[in-house]
Structures are given as structure tokens and as C-alpha cells.
Amino acid sequence: MPLRVPKLPIRLLLAALLTALLALSAGAAQQQTFGRLFPELPAYDAPTDAALDALTVAGGPLADDGDGSGNNPDRVPAFFTYFGQFLDHDLTLDSLPLPVDFVDPTTIPNDRDQRLNLDSVYGNRKKPNPALYEAAGEHLRIGGPDGLDLPRNPDGSAIIGDPRNDENQIIAQIHVAYLRAHNKLIDDGFKFKDARQLMEWRHQWIVVHEFLPEVLDPDVYEDVFIASGNGTVRKIRTRYYDPKKAAKAEMPVEFSVGAYRFGHSQVRAAYRLTEAGSFIQVFNPAASDDLRGGRPITSDHVIFWPNFVNVDGFPLAVNVSRKIDTLLSAGLFTLPIPGAEASGSAILAKRNIQRAREYGLPSGQAVAERLGLRVFTNEEIAEAIPRLAALRDDPAYEEQTPLWLYILAEAEIVHQGAKLGPVGSRIVAEVIGGLLAADKNSYIRKGFVPEGGSFRVKDLLREAGVVQ
């Protein structure tokens, strides 16, 4: 494998210099950066551009046929697809444009506080953005005639802690629920500091006790998140992601660019938003009525949440996640990215694999071997998933699989797409668990238990007043 010499953009060189200067300053805050979970593993310098194009073009091997056969076997409610996106936006922000040459990820700033502390909702704790708050600084601003939208500028753009939470109208309304739940606590007499802390702990509780069990291999989940007799997770044990690295603010690219992008496979082509309405496509450049963000949420797009998550007293959610497999819905081949071509960088699968290649991520097989887990060869993957025969037949893959694609294939082979397989689960569990273990203010470290011993998504939505 040829040696790849880093070619760093000027922006990154300046950022690295600024980081070094800040580190020399007394009391300077540490710059969050990306890093590597397995720095000893070699970079996977494949596939070629031609092979990548052949794999990821619309209608190619990674495209869902749209025949409706993609439901998660466990019928995981679709809420968790977008909750996973919401969580990602609270942990990582890589502002680097899609690279075409090698970039050392340890030089890339993570422009998000990597702790699970809802800074995507509240903004920077040390330098609050007054535009996010009402005049008294206690309530968070909300928008829309019924308070069911994000606050917006005249051009329709959202006024929120992370603009990515307005990429589509489902994640936007999850963000609205968090705004409203915070405001309810203020109305109930909580001081701002206490309300924010309670919201953070409730959010972490949902992540650990509800979201992760829906997506992780059960054996891996139980190995990392140690529960007491009543099912409450009171201890976290990591074997590969040292909490000391988490404390140093190193976000592993094996997580951010590899394993955690499993949620892209869970996205459906369309969802039923209202109680009795028709299904609406997520991204469709030919339709004005899709769910792309950046514009006010109209009354016919306000979500009836029991369609997305199971709530006592309502029928089971009609919108379920796609299974975690090697297929993506049609809308993810034409992302609404300004300046991107639909045949190239607007294809999500291509963006994922290309970024991983230029960041020097190891192959899926290399990570599986490093973890001491079952290694699926490209031959075995192609046998189990015939549409991925190119992995076996095209020498451009060097008998290895890109980490993100390997993790999707593993989930499909091991759990029929119901959950992540052992490799994907281990990376996701260790990083999220390690971040919580490293944060001295996390619910784990503070011994927080919700009133009544539990707090679920349905409780958050009821607190927000968007479910009765």
C-alpha cells in the first residue's frame, strides 16, 4: 500500500496553529478534535474512484428497490432514526468539505462539545447566544403560530444551536420538543441552570436506556452498560475507548465517519406525519411537499408523534425504521446540498466512503480482527448479499471492505438488519459509554435517577405538550 502524505488545507493548518497557541495559554479551554480509536491499524486506501462510483450511483448496489420489504424485523419505531441524528449533532461537527486527498483527522477540529450535554439545543455554555433565548434568558425561543416550529429568520432558516437540526422536518420537530420541554420546566418554577441540568440528564437517560438497546447487539450492550437488578444502568465499562481520551476531547473517526453512520440505512423514503394523512417523501428535488428543512413547518406537516413512537393509549407506531442493511432509500442519492451534483457528492453513500478513505480509516475486516471478533471476508459478504458481488469480483477493493459498509453488511448478516452486529455495536457502545464515563457531570457520575425511576421518549413528548 503506498504511503499517503497528508495534504492539509490552509484552514486546517491555521486551526492547528490556533489550537497550539491556546494550549500554551494559562487556563485555555481544550480544543475538541477528532482522533483514532485504533491508531495502530493501517489505512484502507480503497476503493478506486471508478469502483466507488459504480457502487454508489443511484440505482446501483446500495439503492433500496423501494418494494416496501425494508422494515426493521423488530419494528423499531422511526423516531429513533432521527433521534440518532439528533444525538450525532450533539456530539460531532466536522466542517471540512468532502476531501479529495488524504487528511489527518487529528488535525480536524470537532466544532461540537462532544459531551452529551445538549449544546446543540442550548448553545455554547460559556458564551450563550442571546438569539436562542427569550428576553429574560430563561425560556428558549420557539416559533410557529402554535409554538410547534423552530424560531426562524425571514428567509426561513432556523435560529438554533446547530443548523443541522433543521436538515429535515422530523429532526426539526424533535428539537422543538426539547425546546418546549425545557420551557415547561421553567414554567414549573425551575431555575435555568437546574432546568438545563435536568434536561441533560433526562436526555442521557433516554440514550442509555431506550435508544441504545434498540440499535445495539444485546451482548455488547450488556457488556458496556452494566445494569443493576431493576435494569438501571449505573456503571459503564469500556475495553477499547479509554475515557481518558474522551476527557481529552478526542472523537474517534471510526465512530463519527464509520460506525455511527449506520442510521443512514434506517431512513425510509417517506413517512406519515399526521394522524390520517398520506405518506410524504423525505427528500425529493422534484416535489415541493417533501420534508427538507430550512423553511417553516406548515400545519399539515406537524407530526402526530404516536405515528413515530409507541405511546400508551395509541396504536403501535405506523412509521418504523428501515432495517440496518446495505441499502439506502432513494432520497439519500439526491441530498439537497447546495452546489453538489446529484451524480456525485450529493450521494450520501459516496460521501461516507470517500470521506472515510481520505481520513485513512481502517477496513472493516481490520477492525473486526483487532476486536477479536468474527471476520467476514468479502467472499462471505458477497455470498450473503449477492448485490455486493463487486467486493469480491473487483480487485479495486483489495479484498477488504470500507468500515461503514462492512458494519452495515455485518448487521444484515448477523441480525437480519434488526440491530448492529458486534463490530458496529462495540464502536458505538464504547464511544458513547466512554463519553458518559468521562464527563464528571453526566447522570452516571452524579448518580441521577429520574423521578419514578424511569424517563422515556413518550415522557419527553408529554412534557413538551406535543402528546397528550
* Model confidence pLDDT, tens digit, residues 270-321: 999 999 999 999 999 888 899 999 999 999 999 999 999 999 999 999 999 9
Q: Are 41 and 362 in contact (CB under 8 A)?
A: yes
Q: Would you state the pLDDT for residue 19?
A: 39
Say how far apart CA 411 and CA 422 lie, in whole Å: 8
The 3-state secondary structure of 100-133, one letter per residue: CCCCCHHHCECCCCCCCCCHHHHCCCCCCCHHHE
Specify the higher pLDDT residue, 249 or 447: 447
Cell reading at 361: 480509516
pLDDT band at 338 (very low <50, low <70, confident <90, very high): low
Residue from 133, 143, 183, 467 nearest 293 by CA:
143
Q: Are strands 250-252 and 233-236 parallel, antiparallel or unpaired?
A: unpaired
* Strand, coil or helix: 357: helix
Q: Would you state the pLDDT for residue 247?
A: 61
Q: Would you state the pLDDT for residue 8?
A: 44
Q: Are 41 and 370 in contact (CB under 8 A)?
A: yes
Whether residue 161 has pLDDT greater than 60? yes
Q: Would you state the pLDDT for residue 125?
A: 83
pTM of the full structure: 0.92
Q: Would you state the pLDDT for residue 1?
A: 40
pLDDT digits (tens, 9 = 90+) for 166-220: 999 999 999 999 999 999 999 999 999 999 999 999 999 999 999 999 999 999 9
Preceding peptide of 47 cis, ω within 30° = yes
pLDDT digits (tens, 9 = 90+) for 418-451: 999 999 999 999 999 999 999 999 999 999 999 9
Which residue type, as a one-letter code, is found at position 428? Answer: V
pLDDT digits (tens, 9 = 90+) for 16-50: 443 333 333 333 345 688 999 999 999 999 999 99
> Exposure pattern of 203-236 as b/e (b: 16+ CB <10 Å)?
bbbbbbbbbbebbbbeebbebbbeeeeeeebeeb
